[in-house]
Amino acid sequence: MVNVSEVHKGDDNGIGGIREYTWRSILPYQLAFNMRLTEFEKYKHMKGEAFGELEGKGEWFFEERDGVTYIQYNWTVFTNKAWMNYLSFLLKPAFNYNHDVVMSWGAKGLAKKLNAELISYK
């Protein structure tokens, strides 16, 4: 589950806009971070910088082929939560499983919001 709130609107294309995300998961923790939009090409590409409990970059590519929209999401981040970093060697399988579940929820939610069929996740 995710909550999103707008912190800063940005320019007419949203560049510089900041959204605050709070992700909840099946494990008993949540992550809160901000995402600043740094690049935007409508229907083709978006890029942003994450900061807060997650830091790094995210980049989305959109492509339509034969009436199907394909989305590729590259996410290179690290957590600033000390306990997660300290225990990652032990909890990595649980973190990976949790990540897959949360991303699946996100894909299903996006498809529902767009009134589209989710063909595949992963």
Q: Which domain holds residue 40?
A: 2-113
Residue 79 belongs to some domain of the structure: yes
Please count the residues of the chain.
122
Per-residue pLDDT at 51: 97
Question: Which of 9, 8, 33 lies closest to 20 in space, CA to CA?
Answer: 33
Alpha-carbon distance of 99 to 106, in angstroms, equals 10
- Residue pLDDT, tens place only, 15-42: 999 999 998 889 888 999 999 999 999 9
DSSP tag of 115: T
Residue 102's CATH number: 3.30.530
122 in any annotated domain: no
Name the domain count of the chain.
1
Tokens of 21: 């995300």
Each residue's pLDDT tens digit, 39-86: 999 999 999 999 999 999 999 999 999 988 888 989 999 999 999 999
Under DSSP, is residue 1 helix (H, G, I), strand (E, B) or coil?
coil
Tell me whether residue 63 is in a domain: yes
Give the 3-state secondary structure of residue 43.
Answer: coil
- Note whether residue 75 is domain-resident: yes
